[in-house]
Amino acid sequence: MKPNEESVHGVSESERVARSLKLIDDAIEYKPARILGLFSGGHDSLTAVHVAARHPQFSYAVHINTGVGVPETREFVRTTAAAQNWHLREYKALDCGQDYAQMVAQHGFPGPGKHSLMYIRLKERPLRVAIKEAKLLYPRNTNVLLISGVRFQESERRMGYKEPVTKDGSKIWVNIINDWSKADCNRYIESNKIPRSPVVDKIHKSGECLCGAFAKEGEFAELEFWYPEYAAYIKSLPHPKPWKWGEKGSKAWKDLEAREKHKPGGPLCAGCK
């Protein structure tokens, strides 16, 4: 374990949970229509949603199906939600007209530098639908609380997510485990006897999005070892450009990217790198 992953000395699990729930209490000042737990299938989001579900005003869990994730992740999400008695709503990028295979066939695989586009297409658009449905029967400008598993310790990319509660339009992001360490999450999962994701334990990420924009060296080989059928599917996708999945492309995506508002990857992709 890295030194900065150590738990805060002297803080018990009950105290940590109480502090996390207090963040929800504070965020309720925004008068949200719903409190949604964003459940990717990773252990951070598992911990965050499990804690959030203790809050009396928790509404339901939400899973964004990017269309390019390990099937076992979706199975884990559905099974876990059922076992924990969480109502689960799944939103598909494909239902929003975003087909990863089609984009690859037209532009090639999205390598480094194209993550913001993938975030908008595969995650943000389905999230918009989830928020719209959460606000049915409420005024258009009503807020929605989004519980995320962003942790400050996990990645240097999270420098932009240092505030545990942030407002983005009608989206109120609440990072309720912001000051937990990876060890804290693992201990919480173990002490509450919550089944772990076999995908995370094998490939060290949730596996709900394998677009390749933030792929690290050796990641595809790891995917081939543990999930050969899905790796074979990705390799089988027709792509007109010479670079492979996870490799840096050229300017092929620029026309498509120009039509989108530039936006860095949001909290839903905080664990990609």
Tokens of 80: 């876990």
How many distinct structural domains can be found in the chain?
1
* pLDDT at residue 243, rounded to an integer: 80
Any domain includes 33: yes
HSE toward the beta carbon, residue 252, CA cutoff 13 A = 18
Q: What percent of the chain has pLDDT over 90?
A: 73
Question: What average pLDDT score do residues 184-200 get?
Answer: 98
pLDDT digits (tens, 9 = 90+) for 171-182: 999 999 999 999
Instruction: Cite the beta strand spans of the chain per DSSP E.
Output: 32-38, 60-65, 88-92, 143-148, 165-168, 171-175
Instruction: Report pLDDT digits (tens) over 15-42.
Output: 999 999 999 999 999 999 999 999 999 9
Instruction: Give a yes or no: residue 262 inside a domain.
Output: no
Q: How much is the average pLDDT of 193-205? A: 97
Per the model's pLDDT, the better-predicted residue between 271 and 204 turns out to be 204
Residue 251 lies in a domain: no
Q: Is residue 250 part of a domain?
A: no
Whether residue 47 contacts residue 185, with contact meaning beta carbons closer than 8 Å, is answered with yes
DSSP string, 154-191: T-GGGGGG-SSEEEETTEEEEETTTT--HHHHHHHHHH
Kindly report which listed range (8-12, 43-47, 68-72) carries the lowest average pLDDT score: 8-12
The 10s digit of each residue's pLDDT in 124-151 is 999 999 999 999 999 999 999 999 999 9
Measured CA to CA, the distance from residue 197 to residue 195 in angstroms comes to: 7
pLDDT of residue 257: 52
d(C-alpha 169, C-alpha 166), whole Å? 10
CA–chain centroid gap for 15, Å, is: 26
Asked if residue 248 belongs to a domain, the reply is no
- pTM higher than 0.75: yes
- pLDDT of 229 higher than 90: yes
Structure tokens at 222: 């790891």
268 pLDDT band, cuts 50/70/90, is low
90 is a domain residue = yes
In a domain, 220, yes or no: no
Residue 126 lies in domain: 3-99+112-197
pLDDT band at 195 (very low <50, low <70, confident <90, very high): very high
Count of C-beta atoms within a 10 Å radius of residue 238: 9
Q: Is the model's pLDDT at 272 over the cut of 80? A: no
What is the overall mean pLDDT for the chain?
88
Q: Residue 91 belongs to a domain with what CATH number?
A: 3.40.50.620
